[in-house]
Structure 1
Amino acid sequence: MKKQFKLSVFFYTLMIISSHLAAQTAVHKDRPFVQEYSIKYFTPDEGLTMKKAFMDRNGTLQVITKEGLYRPHNGAFLYPGTMVADRTYLPMKDKSLSDMDVYEDQFVYLDDHAVLSNAWAGSLFIDHALSGAHLLKGGKGFSFLVSDGSRFHYYADSSLVWEGAVTGSEALDLVFDDTKNIFYILTQEKIYAFFPSERSMTEIYSGKDFTCFDLARGGRQIVIGTKDGYMRLDIASGKISGQKDNRLPWPVLTAVKEIDDHLWFGSEKGAFMLKDDGGFNYYHGERWLPGEEVVHISKGKNKEILVLTDKGLSRLVFTAQTLFDKARYYDKQVRERHIRYGFNASLVGMEKGNFNTGRLGDSDNDGLWTSMYLGGEAFRYAVTGSDEALQNVRESLDAMERLYTVNPIHGFPSRSFARRGYIEKLSDPERWQHASHPEWDWKATTSSDEAIGHVFVFGVIAELVDDQEIKEKAIRLLDELMQHIVDNDWYLIDYDGKPTLWGKWHPDYVNGFPTMVGDRKLNSSNIVAMLQTAYHFTQKEIYKKKAFMLMEEHGYLENLMRPMEEIGKAEEGTDQWAEMLSEAWNHSDDEMYFLGYWGLYRYAFNDTLKAKYKEAIIDHWEAERPEKDGLWNIFTALVAPDNFDLEEAIWYLQEYPLDLINWTVRNSHRKDIEIIAPNFRRQSTKEVLPPDELAIRRHNANRFDLDGGNDGRAESSAGDIWLLPYWMGRYLEVISEPVQE
């Protein structure tokens, strides 16, 4: 018994240890996932009326319009093409084509005289003699059903073998079930079945407001699209299966198609695919489609989906890639289009998504966005030893250094700098000052956002980059910034000798806010993190002494430990500044908090403080979890590698669109999302939408804002948005290197 007991204890202990180790080493294995993007082709003018789009076995793509056949010209990801008249077969130009189909992977056409094709050596040619014919569907053995909307002709062996008609509203569409040899006919109120073997047609279902239909589930169901959602008709029973579903992104349906066991819908406001979990992938706006109203959906080659809209055609491309593959694409995007004097910058002033028409824009937060990109490159270098990453660090750190040297104030970082003579053409011209060098101007009024970003990345570089010159530069800049703040009584002092609007950490300012105002907690957390980072790398006792003074004598430790649930609106009658700052949750504050958490936790003065900081960070993370922000989750892995939302972080990284152009995006009209009551955090929906269905946003924006964008007039950099969380995840070993399948 004792031996059995000891063995039981041993195996139990082993199980506990194994479980603990498994939790500590949980990591996302970077296997290929499905990445999607869109290639768009716009109509050359407003005169084209789109009807259908198909791709044949050769990959040739044709669009039939009321004005004739068209095909896409040029077009690639981020380089939209156009639609041009198809002149491939010159005689087709003179035919009055009214419909087309893909039959045995070949194009078949309907004109006012015949069913015809250029495939099969042009041998398919069936005279139909049905005036006004505009609907065509192929059946078995080169048989075809043709209709003018009310009358139907069925042709087999090139001969007319059956005629029929429907009464009431006209036919809208035809589909064929090749397993059962049945044609189905849709009108606005009825569905008919035509049985070629019996030469008979019968009504199988009636209703109202039908708009589109298709076979589904191996021909066992017909999915009926309406002006208010869709229904599933069980063919065997002739009854609707379940209830009508109108909780769709938009319920006025214009097209439905089952492709590879997934239902695709077109509507007056975009296209969407029904997912296995009952939700939808939504494709709306010019990130995905040339126009808003979908006309037709069909299957392309290589798992592409063709979505024809009133303004042109979209090829939705689905490809397999790893997160590492995505990182390489984004690395290229940043270096080719988003480096301004070494800064991580946005392209602005673009014309409708054409980034070759844009310019590199200056920003109030050039230092902050560059700190985040620079941090990502430092993590990349630490993980891979990449010479390219090291050079990127070197160049962007040079830009960061110049923020301090381009102005005359020691230890004061400029917001940005630019060549002389363009102040009036730059944003916020009143903030710009002339440098002593006649070629340059610099931007003043630096904020606390910049300061915490600088300290974050200087610490990361000093710790992780083994190049001595780069390391020493980062520590020197860190020391100069913090000495400036300490020497100036916890303020950033601008060119005019006065504190900047936001660069304030003095106890009178910080503790002047009521406890529920977020700036009291935020500024306390940030300055302690900044002082700890400075002490860790310089070992100057003044930074440690000042930090403990703020925590012990001025309540900064109590401030930063205050639970997030206590942060809210200031009471009426308090200071107007406090009321303004606490009107709603500030997502820029989240960015500042989490950037500060690196130095707050990693460089804590002692283990007791480190445990407290961990508690504060996890409390904040718990409040942020609904946003599913990839960066906040990865930062939390720093303190709780066994207790953070790894799946949500990967979801964020995988779902972020490759297209970072700021297209206008709207979701507030959607009927498939659950809107919740207005609240302090400005969370609009019960569940946050995927990044590829939202406007492009940095981490300081509210991911619950349903609408946004600016018609493709800017392109954001992946440097701060995506590369930082990815490479930090790689460094913290919660994301693996790419796994070879």
Structure 2
Amino acid sequence: MKNLYRHYIWLISLLIVSCNNTEKKEEAVSQIPNYQDVPYIQDLSIKYNAEESELLQVQMDRNGVIQVLSSEGLLRTHDGQFLYPGTLLKDKTYRPLTDKNISGLTLYKNQFVYLDDKAVFSNAWAGSLYLLHDLPKAKLLTAGDNFNFLISDGKALQFLSKDKPSWKSKIDDELIAIRYQAANNIFWILGEHSISSFDASNNTLKTIQQVQKLTSFALLEDKLVLGTSNGYFELDAITGKQIGAIQNKLPANQITTIETINGELWFGSNEGAFKLREDGKFDYYYGKRWLPSNDVKRISAGNDGSVLVLTDAGLGHIIFKEMTLYDKALYYENQVRNRHIRLGFNATLVDMDNGNFDSGRLSDSDNDGLWTTMYLAGEVFRYAVTKSEDALQNCIESMEAMERLFSINPVPGFPSRSFERSGYIEKLHDPDRWQHTNNPEWDWKSTTSSDEAIGHIFAYGVMAELMENDLKDRAITLIDTLMSHVVRNDMYMIDFDGKPTTWGKWNPEYVNARPKMVGDRKVNSSNIIAMLQTAYHFTGKEKYREKAFDLMDNHGYLENLMRPMKEVAPAPEDADDWSKMLSESWNHSDDEMYFVGYWGLYNYAFNDSLKSKFKASIINHWEAERPEKEGAWNIMTALTGTAEFDLNEAVWYLKEHPLDMVAWDVKNSHRKDIELIEPNFREQTTKEVLPPDERRIQRHNGNMFTLDGGGNGKEEYSAGDIWLLPYWMGRYLGVISAPQP
């Protein structure tokens, strides 16, 4: 009985310990944040270009028909899809309208109402609306209630109604806009230096003179929002008194039009359109990513929640679409496969004519290997999460390209930068780097760099870790092939000429020749230890382990890679010229190399002590990168298991990234709503980074604080490395959920 009793006690104790351990594991897992991928609102733009005519007004009726009033009459949208612009053509739908001198366009009960030199009329209501007026040069038209309308020719006003007598008056000002306030049955009239109100119930007209020259206005609850050439201000609609100071810390201060849409203020300017958010900041729509031109004439609401932005060159139809991050990923997957695969590489489409994909060509790149390995790793993560046959086939095709980088040149274990069919060398990037092969059909690109090498090892490590088919063995073979070349050649990559490439150098004589504050000393040390650890983990060959510990113990590589980021700085005056060149400013390509290498540095650390050190180094780097809100760096930091890696900012990056990946020109340096900071080593220009859809399209190795730039619509970047890698890595690490209903 005592033995049985002791056995029971032992069993109960074991269960308690087991439960406690399970609770601790569950608690540890629960500490890692997870974004639930529920639908959010994604904006995109369909653009319609116009022939040379003055564009005046735009409206969408209850049927979704869009009409634009121009100096040449009524226009309507033709064709037009996202990324494929349409045009504005003369509207011949209703022939009698083409003979009328239409000068005004508005909506009443979501039906088109027109103004010409004789009447206010409509084709709705069986054409029964036809109100004659006495202002042959009338150009302003606004609908009130009960089929009431107020029109103006810029000086005189006339009130028209189906049920009430006509009313006329004049205002001593140049009138530029009319608005109707339904709650009070009041028409508000904007002059260049006045605000007037017309009470339709008793035909009372009141005028308040304004000092500022006014350009536009809108109604927002009981306020009038008045635009000027230097910002906007608000008036109390009841008292007529100004509310607060003029607002001129805007994306653009020269206001051309204001509209209230779904309770939000939209502004047009001579430098794009912008919307005031609840937090007091602005969503800025600048450039051909969003608009045919930046000179905005009118803004109006679509009946489907969209926004119509009329410019001097056409119409930007901004659509707000509900989607999940997974939906966005599927869109980008199609974008990559449709336009960005060159011989299995993840490539850029270049030489486009103003964003026209059909006019572009696939380009080679110095970094074909790097951009492809980042895409390849993302597809491996996708396959690990979804078991998608499509993802598997993508991996196979990119892996074939990566393998051929090694086999197409005569140097054992040396990966080419790229390859292409022969006869085009003079048309390719850096023609002096290209070499002929023994096959007259093909050429290969030499001078491979360290960022290519770390990309190779990252992708092959991910593949070897997560694949269970022959791709796993092929990945391990390439890891061993590349790292055998490096170790055999005294920690250099040796090119076809028997010399080290400019950047493929991890030998202590080169690495430690740099002063300690120069970033190359730290990044090269971090990368090579990650590469050697990955090679040892998957091959078990002692030469990789021995070399890594030799570098860490005898050549200071552990100290190099653990050096805090705050110590990275310009080289001193007495340093060599190469070190000074390397440290002129913060190197964002180095950031990419670090984070791509962290997969092997952390996951395959030789022991727990090193793993703990490497985690501290990764988090120290992430802390330095936090202002950029870089989606990839935040999600890659999550691989350490830390609970704090700015998941919200990573999701922000993924959501705010534009669906349009064309390298349109953008400009932000003129904005008054951003806070500029003093020039600095990191080249951070503003206190807070702008959203990706307000910046130029760029890869992860670019400075996220660059305010202006782009490619004038000549290139489209691939989402393969830019967006799909962080998304699918986030899915694999469990910090982003599958799509939720």
TM category, shorter: over 0.9
Query: How far does residue 20 in structure 1 lie from its aligned partner after superposition?
Result: 4.5
Residue equivalent to 2:355: 353
CA distance in 1, matches of 2:165, 2:681: 70
Aligned equivalent of 1:153, options 128, 143, 158:
158
Aligned equivalent of 2:74, options 69, 76, 81:
69
Q: For residue 174 of structure 1, what is the amino acid of its counterpart? A: I
CA distance in 2, matches of 1:225, 1:160: 33
Query: How far does residue 499 in structure 1 lie from its aligned partner after superposition?
Result: 0.5
Residue equivalent to 1:208: 212
Query: How far does residue 593 in structure 1 lie from its aligned partner after superposition?
Result: 0.3
The reply to whether residue 188 of structure 1 matches residue 195 of structure 2 is no
Residue equivalent to 2:113: 108
Q: Which runs of 5+ in 2 are unaligned?
A: 1-19
Q: For residue 555 of structure 1, what is the amino acid of its counterpart? A: G
CA distance in 2, matches of 1:22, 1:480: 37
TM-score by length of 2: 0.96
When residues 650 and 509 of structure 1 are mapped into structure 2, their CA distance, relative to the original with a 3 A threshold, is same
CA distance in 2, matches of 1:589, 1:103: 59
The reply to whether residue 231 of structure 1 matches residue 238 of structure 2 is no
CA distance in 1, matches of 2:716, 2:105: 39
- Give a deviation string over 1:342-401, Cα, whole Å, max 9, x none: 100010111100111111100000000000000000000111111111111111001000
Written as runs of structure 1 = structure 2, the 5 A alignment for 1:488-637 is 488-637=489-638
Query: How far does residue 199 in structure 1 lie from its aligned partner after superposition?
Result: 1.0
Which has the higher mean CA deviation after the structures are superposed, 19-28 or 112-121? 19-28
Give SS of 1:140's match. Answer: coil
Give SS of 2:559's match. Answer: helix
Contact 1:128/1:160 (<8 A) preserved = no
Residue equivalent to 2:674: 673
Contact 1:126/1:158 (<8 A) preserved = no
Q: For residue 515 of structure 1, what is the amino acid of its counterpart? A: K
Q: What is the CA RMSD across the aligned residues, in angstroms?
A: 1.5
Q: For residue 36 of structure 2, what is the amino acid of its counterpart? A: K
CA distance in 2, matches of 1:542, 1:138: 83
CA distance in 2, matches of 1:303, 1:157: 31
Aligned equivalent of 1:456, options 454, 458, 471:
458
Residue equivalent to 2:41: 34
TM-score by length of 1: 0.96
Q: For residue 738 of structure 1, what is the amino acid of its counterpart? A: P
Q: For residue 508 of structure 1, what is the amino acid of its counterpart? A: E
Residue equivalent to 2:315: 313
Contact 1:458/1:475 (<8 A) preserved = yes
Q: For residue 655 of structure 2, what is the amino acid of its counterpart? A: Q
Query: How far does residue 574 in structure 1 lie from its aligned partner after superposition?
Result: 1.2
Give SS of 2:298's match. Answer: strand
Q: Which runs of 5+ in 1 are unaligned?
A: 1-12
- Give a deviation string over 1:300-331, Cα, whole Å, max 9, x none: 02211000001100110001100000000000
Contact 1:153/1:160 (<8 A) preserved = no
The reply to whether residue 470 of structure 1 matches residue 471 of structure 2 is yes
Residue equivalent to 1:86: 91
Q: For residue 28 of structure 1, what is the amino acid of its counterpart? A: Y
- Give a deviation string over 1:671-696, Cα, whole Å, max 9, x none: 10000000000000000000000000
CA distance in 1, matches of 2:336, 2:719: 6
CA distance in 2, matches of 1:398, 1:186: 67
Aligned equivalent of 2:334, options 327, 332, 335:
332
Residue equivalent to 1:6: none
Q: For residue 545 of structure 1, what is the amino acid of its counterpart? A: E
CA distance in 2, matches of 1:309, 1:637: 44
Q: For residue 631 of structure 2, what is the amino acid of its counterpart? A: G
- Give a deviation string over 1:412-444, Cα, whole Å, max 9, x none: 000000001111111111110001111100000
- Give a deviation string over 1:210-252, Cα, whole Å, max 9, x none: 11011102xx111111111111111122211222111100011
CA distance in 2, matches of 1:426, 1:517: 33
Residue equivalent to 1:323: 325
Query: How far does residue 198 in structure 1 lie from its aligned partner after superposition?
Result: 1.2
Q: For residue 39 of structure 2, what is the amino acid of its counterpart? A: P
Q: For residue 414 of structure 1, what is the amino acid of its counterpart? A: S
Give SS of 1:571's match. Answer: coil
Residue equivalent to 1:24: 31
Query: How far does residue 23 in structure 1 lie from its aligned partner after superposition?
Result: 4.9
Query: How far does residue 19 in structure 1 lie from its aligned partner after superposition?
Result: 10
CA distance in 2, matches of 1:571, 1:734: 42
Residue equivalent to 2:10: none
Residue equivalent to 1:268: 270
Give SS of 1:634's match. Answer: helix
Give SS of 2:400's match. Answer: helix
Aligned equivalent of 2:146, options 141, 165, 176:
141
- Give a deviation string over 1:72-98, Cα, whole Å, max 9, x none: 111000000111000111111111111
Query: How far does residue 205 in structure 1 lie from its aligned partner after superposition?
Result: 5.2
Q: For residue 724 of structure 1, what is the amino acid of its counterpart? A: L
Residue equivalent to 1:685: 686
CA distance in 1, matches of 2:273, 2:502: 46
Contact 1:23/1:642 (<8 A) preserved = no
CA distance in 1, matches of 2:97, 2:164: 23
Residue equivalent to 1:3: none
- Give a deviation string over 1:629-650, Cα, whole Å, max 9, x none: 0000001001143111000000
What is the number of equivalent residue pairs in this alignment? 723
Query: How far does residue 158 in structure 1 lie from its aligned partner after superposition?
Result: 6.7
Contact 2:464/2:473 (<8 A) preserved = yes
Give SS of 1:133's match. Answer: coil
CA distance in 1, matches of 2:270, 2:473: 59
Give aligned-pair identity as a percent: 58
CA distance in 1, matches of 2:691, 2:400: 36
Query: How far does residue 208 in structure 1 lie from its aligned partner after superposition?
Result: 1.3
CA distance in 2, matches of 1:594, 1:611: 17
Query: How far does residue 161 in structure 1 lie from its aligned partner after superposition?
Result: 2.4
When residues 585 and 58 of structure 1 are mapped into structure 2, their CA distance, relative to the original with a 3 A threshold, is same
The reply to whether residue 422 of structure 1 matches residue 420 of structure 2 is no
Runs (4 or more) in structure 1 with deviation over 3 Å come to 16-23
Residue equivalent to 2:439: 437
Query: How far does residue 265 in structure 1 lie from its aligned partner after superposition?
Result: 0.4
CA distance in 1, matches of 2:94, 2:371: 54
Residue equivalent to 2:201: 197
Query: How far does residue 207 in structure 1 lie from its aligned partner after superposition?
Result: 2.8
CA distance in 1, matches of 2:25, 2:333: 38
CA distance in 2, matches of 1:90, 1:78: 32
Q: For residue 544 of structure 1, what is the amino acid of its counterpart? A: R
Q: For residue 715 of structure 1, what is the amino acid of its counterpart? A: E
Written as runs of structure 1 = structure 2, the 5 A alignment for 1:120-135 is 120-135=125-140
Give SS of 1:437's match. Answer: coil
CA distance in 2, matches of 1:160, 1:42: 42
Contact 1:307/1:316 (<8 A) preserved = yes
Contact 2:131/2:161 (<8 A) preserved = no
CA distance in 1, matches of 2:143, 2:386: 57
Contact 1:126/1:159 (<8 A) preserved = no
- Give a deviation string over 1:463-515, Cα, whole Å, max 9, x none: 00111x11111100110100000011111100111110000001010000000
Give SS of 2:640's match. Answer: coil
Contact 2:32/2:641 (<8 A) preserved = no
Residue equivalent to 2:718: 717
Residue equivalent to 2:381: 379
Query: How far does residue 21 in structure 1 lie from its aligned partner after superposition?
Result: 4.1
